[in-house]
Amino acid sequence: VQLVESGGGLVLPGVPLRLSCAASGFTFRFYWMAWLRQAPGKGPEWVANIKQDGSETFYGASMKGRFIISRDNAKSSIYLQVNSLRDEDTAIYYCARAQLAGGYFDYWGLGTQVTVSS
């Protein structure tokens, strides 16, 4: 299993950003997928989950409204659109495979750094 995130970088406050995650090594369309993030010096924070066919999505309480998770099973990829970036969105953003039945994330990517600063 391999998960590779991309799309991070130094961005200005208020601009949108789209992160990508390419998956390989497993049958992607069979699994829920997730985004998590980790701000400097903090523990991980769950951002969002998306169902196998993309028909259901769930977001952390502080993520609703500005974050949109999506997937493309043909490309074995998930995406995270973040609108109106704020300083507090500065974090490493991780893609993970989710095992919702057991409430855990069994494979993670290396992450992509997002730094919001003017």
Partner 1 sequence: QSALTQPPSASGSPGQSVTVSCTGTRSDIGAYNFVSWYQFHPGTVPKLIIYEVTKRPSGVPDRFSGSKSGNTASLTVSGLQADDEADYYCSSFAGNNNFIFGPGTKVTV
Number of CB atoms found within 10 A of residue 36's CB: 22
Q: Classify each residue of 10-31 as buried b or exposed e, where b means 16 or more C-beta atoms within 10 Å of its C-beta.
A: ebeeeeebebbbbbeeeebeeb
- Contact between 45 and partner 1 by CB under 8 A: the answer reads yes
Q: Which stretch binds partner 1 (CB under 8 A): 22-30, 41-49, 64-72, 73-81?
A: 41-49
Among positions 12, 53, 61, 88, the unique one binding partner 1 when judged by CB under 8 A: 61
Select 15 or 110, whichever has its Cβ closest to partner 1: 110
Q: Which of 40, 43, 88, 118 binds partner 1 (CB under 8 A)?
A: 43
Instruction: Compare residues 65 and 103 and give the one whose CB is closer to partner 1.
Output: 103
DSSP 89: G
Nearest alpha carbon to residue 25 among 1, 4, 8, 42: 1
Residues of the shown chain interacting with partner 1 in the complex, contacts defined by CB under 8 A: 42-46, 49, 58, 60-61, 94, 99, 102-110
